[in-house]
Each structure stands twice: as C-alpha cells, then as structure tokens.
C-alpha cells in the first residue's frame, strides 16, 4: 500500500512541474547558445603568399560628405561590401549576370583581372554561396569565339582562360559575354561585360564560400578596364573596408572627388602589373626604422592588394618592425596564437574595448616619397585572438624570401582608398567605412546634388525594395534587398516623447530560402542579439513564415533581467541600427529588410499575474503537506490493521505440538 502512495505522490509532483513549466512558457525567451570559435582559414590571392583571417576596429572619424568628380559626367556604380577579414579573410560584393539576372557573391580583388563565376557545366567546382550560373537561362549570354587576342580551346572554337594563384589554386573555363548589373543603388546601367564561365577549380577556390572573384586589377579582362574602355565610367574606383568587429563597407566603380585632406601616393602603372605605392619610410611610435628606402622598391615594389588579408614585409623590414614594436610592448604578456602552426605574435591582458587599443599599442606611419604620411592605428595591424579574451595578435608577417612589400586589407581598414588610374595615384582617407556605406546608401532617385554620398532624400522615389511601413516585404529575390535610409528631418525610428517601453516588436524580411533558414533561426537571432548589444535571454521568436524565396521573421526584444522597461535611447539605437542596415550578418543569411517595428508599453499586470508564482508555490506546499499528512495517517492505520486484537479472556487457537529434537 505504501508504494502506490509513493507513485501517486511522484505523479502529482510531475503534474505540478508540468503546470509550472506551462505557466512560464509564455514568457520564456529563446535561449541562444554561445557563438562558435572563430576560425582563420587561408585566403586566396594571386601571386602572393596565402594570408590568414583577421579582424579589427576604428575610432570615430569625420562625417564630412564626399562629392562626385566635378570634372566628369560619368555615372558610377555604388555597391555594398560584405563579410569581414576575421570570418572570411576577404570582402565580397554582389553582381548579377544574365537576363533575367542571376546573383553572385564575388571576392573583391585588386590583385587579379578576370571576373569569374562557376558555370552549370562545371563538375569540378565546389559548393558556394549561390547556385552556379546557367547560361541556357540567360537570353543575353554569348560565348566569346576564338580569335587572335585570346587563348583558344583545343577545337579552336571558344576563348578560354586559366589563372593560377600563389597557394596553387587554379580556376579555368571559357570566356563569355553577358549583361552584368550592379544592384539597385547603382547609377550605372547594366553593361555587357566579358567574364569567365568557370568549368574547373581547385584548392582554396574550391573550398571558399564566395562564388568567385571580381577582378579590379589592370588588364584587358578587368571589369574596371572594360567599363572605362566603354566610356561608361571614369578610369577610377574606390574601396572602403569596415573595421574590427564591424565588417562590410562600400565600393564605387567610377570617379569621386577627393576630400581636401586625402593623402596620395604616386602609383606607377609601368613599375609592376599591380597597384603599387611609392613607400620610402616607416615609423613606429614616432621612431623611424633604420632601413634603406630601396628596400620598399624591390621586385614588385610596395603593392596594395585588397584580396590579401594581412601585410607581408620583406625580411629586413619585418625584423626592424618587429624589434621596434616589441620594445614598445615589452610590458605586455606574450602568448601563443590560436593556431600554433601560424607562429603568431600575440599579447594578452588588454582591454576588449577597441577604442582603448591606442593607449597600449603605438601608431605606425607609412611615409611616401612626397612626405605625406598614412597613419595606421592599432586596428590597421592587429587582429583579435580567437580563443583568448582581451588578447590581440600582430597582423604583419614576413614575406618569406619574396622581397615584395605586400599591404593587404588589414592595413586599409576604415580607410577610403581611391585608385585613380587616370592620374596614376592612390589616395587614402581615414573614415568610418560603416558610416560611409550609410552615406552611400540612398534610393535610386536622382538628386539635385552631384554627390555620390548624399544625405538620404526626405521623399524617396519608388524602389523595388519594400518601404519601412510595408506589411509584406515582398521582393524579387534576384535583386539585392537594400536597406532603407531614414530622412534626416524625420527619422522613421523617431519616438514621440519619453515613454516606457516593455517590448520592441520587429518584422524582418530576408531573401533566403525558408527551408534553409528554419534550422538556423537560433543562430540568426544569436547574431542579431550580439550585433544589437542585448542578451540572448531578451530575444523572443514570435513567428516565422515565408513567401517564395523571402522569409519573414517576427521577433521581439524585452527588458533584461529584473528591468521593467527598455530605455528610449536603447530602443532607438536598436531600431535605427536595423533600419539603417548597420547590423552585419554572416553572408549565409542573405540581405535583410526591416519591414516594420512597434514599441509596446510594459504590460500592466493584475495582482494575480504579479504574485502567481508565490500563490502557486503556496498552493503546492499546502497540497504537499496535505499529501504527507494523509500518507502518514494511512500508514499508521494500516499498521494498526496488521496487529490482531484479542481479548485477554478470549479463546486462543490451539497449535499442534512438534516433537522435541534430541
């Protein structure tokens, strides 16, 4: 009888637990797992050592706006940059090829010329971000027939290409011509361009996430050369890479007028086939390195390459640099890098706040022949240690036996770099590249100002992208889903007065397949929470639907911990970062659009809602006490029933006597 009572009690406790859990399930947030450790894969770069991955940040900079090239009436292509040096080792942009357009993510590379994408007939191509290009689906596709100006296939029918990279990756295929579009933000209309239709790839090219490469170097196949030769853009382009922990950035194909304080270096197109600068000196913490200026002019000279992740110095330069900087950092604790085989030089015990790095690490100056100096802050030569909090590593390495000085993407973080090929010079302007993208990002409406970086128009013209108040957020997935810029006079995220906010409800549209996104929702909201600076416990997933290739996510952010409301400042910051597209997501999630948002006041709870846990606990304790008391009473009654009661004078039952054992 006791065991059934125990089973009854256990069952009751289990039911109470389920009841308790169901009461809490309404308010339980989506619990987010910690992010995975960041890897540092090798980068793909032609003719130069295979770099690794990195990351870094930049202090606040001027908010001045740039103007378009007043000497040119050419249009330009404004294009967003994606990814960052830490997660990918490169920056990429989007191009659309064919009619109707097919989208591709291409690595931005000033060190190579051919622009290529994997084609449907490629059986030796890896799995990349987007589907392979299908020539048969494009009504404007045309292969380039064999001629005297190209290498031909064995049948002498089509032009072919082949490129080999330093780490021995190879891409090869046929040359073709088709219409290439530059996105909704471009003033430049779609153009017919010769590109590589890839039929085979090996090495890092096979394994990379991006689909291919956009070649910005000097050469007949370069997309810049082709557009400039057509006369549709001026012979210039600009890149601006985001900083540490931010990523992204902007690219402009075409000319812009330079800010008054942009510094320039002569770039000799005859000196080498790559974009070079006339570097003569290097200073560390104000101290000139004892080097012969000719050391920067050997082999290909000092090359600026957007596709390389880190900087690589000749042996003499690297040794002088490392000796000097180690003396400056002798008070810091030196530790091993995340990957021992890289032999990184890393330091620990440093603030994780990137804005404080300049208090610990010295500045570096690159001095050009004209005595103009490019100042490098710590984010331009450091990257975060991927396994140790508050640790950083040098992003400058020795270039083996190669005497070339190679300056990769880390050197120009948060720096607008203008490649003025017409006047043979390269300009550098320190700025916040994330903010520069916001200034680049306007609707396609013509502006009375000739600026390529105008302020957002208060009355944007119709666009394929949905407006912030749109309820559907539908869009043709073949085109980029650009962010909405808020008018400066009346931001779309303005709040009227000071209000107490109990919940921020957000509707996002992403141009990514529903079935692909569904198992990755937790990861997506994890990135969102991190980018917006909130805890995972504040994030609630409310709804998840799709239509075609567009996925719609309704989610909310609630106050943290014991707080009862979200401050107006925090709410505006969250909404504006999403509305202005300053939340940087991994490429896997495509582009997002903030369709609509809503702030709700804290819910006014009844006494029962505020005290239901206490009341529920009291009821549970009362029931448990009653069960225990009932159990004790039943147990005592059963024991009494098991002891037979006999009167003293009652007749006793006779028992058979057993013989005694002798």
What is the rounded radius of gyration, in angstroms, for the C-alpha atoms of the chain?
A: 33
**109 catalytically annotated:** yes
**What dihedral angle (degrees, nearest 10) is formed by the CA atoms of 526, 529, 534, 538?**
-70
Q: Which entry of 109, 211, 235, 420 is annotated as an active-site residue?
A: 109
Neighbouring residues of 124: CB distance < 8 A, sequence distance ≥ 6: 199, 200, 201, 202, 206
User: Exposed/middle/buried for 81, CB within 10 Å: 0-12, 13-18, 19+?
Assistant: buried
Let me know: does 313 contact 295? Beta carbons within 8 Å: no
Let me know: does 56 contact 70? Beta carbons within 8 Å: no
CA angle in degrees (0–180, nearest 5) for 90-91-96: 130
**420 catalytically annotated:** no
CA angle in degrees (0–180, nearest 5) for 548-211-247: 90
Phi and psi for 171 in degrees, rounded to 5?
-125, 140
304-322 burial string, b = 16+ CB within 10 Å, else e? bbbbbbbbbbbebbbebbb
Looking at the DSSP bridge assignments, the partners of residue 194 are 177
Return d(Cα 453, Cα 471) in angstroms, integer: 29
| DSSP β-ladder status, 311-313 and 392-394 | unpaired
Let me know: does 82 contact 256? Beta carbons within 8 Å: no
**CA nearest to 158, candidates 142, 145, 169:** 145
Locus of tokens 């590379």: 109
Return d(Cα 131, Cα 116) in angstroms, integer: 14
| DSSP β-ladder status, 212-215 and 102-109 | parallel
Both tokens of residue 321? 């640099």
Both tokens of residue 135? 């020539």
Alpha helices in 178-298 (DSSP H): 203-207, 223-230
| DSSP β-ladder status, 364-368 and 373-376 | antiparallel
Looking at the DSSP bridge assignments, the partners of residue 94 are 105
Both tokens of residue 238? 């600009």
User: Exposed/middle/buried for 93, CB within 10 Å: 0-12, 13-18, 19+?
Assistant: buried
162-198 burial string, b = 16+ CB within 10 Å, else e? ebebbbebebbbbbbbbbbbbbbbbbbebbebbbbbb
Distant-in-sequence contacts of 486-494, Cβ < 8 A, 24+ apart: 486/456, 486/576, 486/579, 486/580, 487/456, 487/457, 487/458, 487/459, 488/455, 488/456, 488/458, 489/458, 490/458, 491/576, 491/579, 492/468, 492/579, 493/572, 493/575, 493/576, 493/579, 493/597, 494/572
Return d(Cα 140, Cα 133) in angstroms, integer: 13
**Greatest extent of the chain over all pairs of C-alpha atoms, in Å:** 134
SS3 percent helix, strand, coil of the chain, rounded to 5, is 25, 25, 50
Q: Which entry of 211, 297, 305, 344 is annotated as an active-site residue?
A: 305
Locus of tokens 């933000």: 185
Positions annotated as catalytic residues are 109, 305
């Amino acid at each position: 009888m006791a065991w059934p009572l125990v089973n009854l009690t256990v069952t009751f406790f289990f039911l109470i637990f389920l009841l308790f859990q169901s009461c809490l399930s309404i308010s339980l947030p989506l619990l987010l797992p910690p992010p995975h450790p960041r890897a540092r894969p090798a980068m793909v770069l032609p003719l130069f050592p295979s770099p690794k991955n990195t990351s870094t940040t930049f202090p606040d900079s001027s908010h001045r706006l740039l103007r378009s090239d007043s000497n040119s009436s050419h249009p330009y292509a404004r294009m967003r940059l994606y990814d960052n040096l830490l997660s990918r080792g490169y920056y990429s942009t989007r191009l659309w090829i064919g009619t109707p357009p097919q989208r591709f993510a291409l690595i931005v590379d000033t060190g190579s010329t051919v622009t290529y994408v994997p084609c449907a007939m490629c059986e030796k191509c890896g799995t990349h971000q987007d589907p392979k290009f299908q020539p048969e689906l494009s009504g404007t596709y045309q292969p380039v027939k064999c001629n005297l100006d190209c290498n031909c296939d064995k049948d002498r029918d089509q032009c072919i290409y082949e490129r080999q990279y330093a780490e021995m990756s190879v891409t090869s295929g046929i040359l073709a011509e088709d219409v290439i579009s530059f996105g909704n933000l471009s003033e430049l209309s779609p153009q017919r361009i010769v590109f590589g239709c890839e039929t085979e790839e090996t090495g890092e090219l096979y394994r990379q996430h991006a689909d291919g490469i956009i070649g910005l170097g000097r050469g007949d196949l370069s997309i810049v050369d082709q557009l400039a030769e057509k006369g549709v853009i001026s012979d210039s382009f600009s890149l601006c890479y985001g900083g540490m922990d931010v990523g992204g950035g902007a690219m402009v194909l075409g000319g812009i007028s330079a800010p008054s304080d942009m510094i320039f270096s002569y770039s000799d197109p005859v000196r080498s086939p790559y974009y070079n600068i006339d570097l003569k000196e290097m200073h560390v913490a104000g101290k000139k390195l004892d080097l012969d200026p000719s050391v920067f002019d050997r082999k290909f000279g000092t090359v600026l390459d957007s596709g390389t992740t880190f900087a690589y110095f000749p042996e003499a330069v690297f040794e002088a640099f490392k000796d000097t900087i180690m003396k400056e950092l002798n008070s810091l604790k030196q530790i091993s890098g995340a990957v021992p085989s890289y032999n990184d030089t890393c330091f620990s015990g440093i603030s994780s706040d990137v804005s404080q790095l300049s208090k610990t690490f010295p500045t570096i100056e690159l001095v050009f022949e004209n005595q103009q100096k490019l100042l490098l802050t710590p984010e331009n030569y450091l990257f975060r240690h991927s396994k140790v909090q508050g640790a950083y590593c040098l992003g400058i390495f020795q270039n083996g036996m190669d005497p070339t000085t190679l300056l990769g993407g880390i050197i120009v973080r948060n720096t607008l770099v203008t490649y003025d090929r017409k006047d043979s010079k390269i300009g550098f302007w320190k700025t916040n590249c994330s903010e520069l993208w916001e200034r680049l990002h306007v609707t396609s409406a013509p502006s009375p100002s000739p600026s390529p970086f105008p302020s957002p128009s208060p009355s944007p013209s119709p666009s394929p992208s949905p407006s912030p108040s749109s309820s559907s957020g539908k869009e043709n997935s073949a085109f980029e889903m650009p962010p909405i810029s808020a008018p400066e006079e009346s931001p779309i995220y303005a709040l009227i007065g000071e209000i107490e906010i109990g919940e921020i409800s957000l509707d996002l549209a992403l141009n990514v397949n529903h079935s692909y996104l569904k198992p990755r929702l937790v990861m997506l909201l994890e990135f969102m929470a991190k980018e917006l600076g909130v805890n995972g416990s504040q994030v609630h997933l409310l709804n998840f639907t799709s239509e075609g290739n567009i996925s719609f996510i309704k989610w909310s952010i609630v106050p943290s911990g014991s707080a009862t409301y979200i401050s107006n400042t925090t709410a505006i910051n969250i909404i504006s970062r999403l509305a202005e597209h300053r939340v940087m997501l991994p490429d896997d999630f495509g582009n997002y659009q903030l369709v609509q948002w809503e702030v709700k006041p804290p819910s006014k709870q009844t006494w029962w809602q505020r005290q239901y846990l206490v009341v529920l606990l009291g009821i549970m304790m009362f029931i448990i006490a009653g069960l225990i008391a009932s159990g004790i009473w039943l147990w005592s009654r059963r024991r009494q029933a098991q002891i037979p009661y006999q009167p003293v004078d009652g007749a006793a039952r006779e028992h058979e006597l057993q013989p005694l054992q002798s």
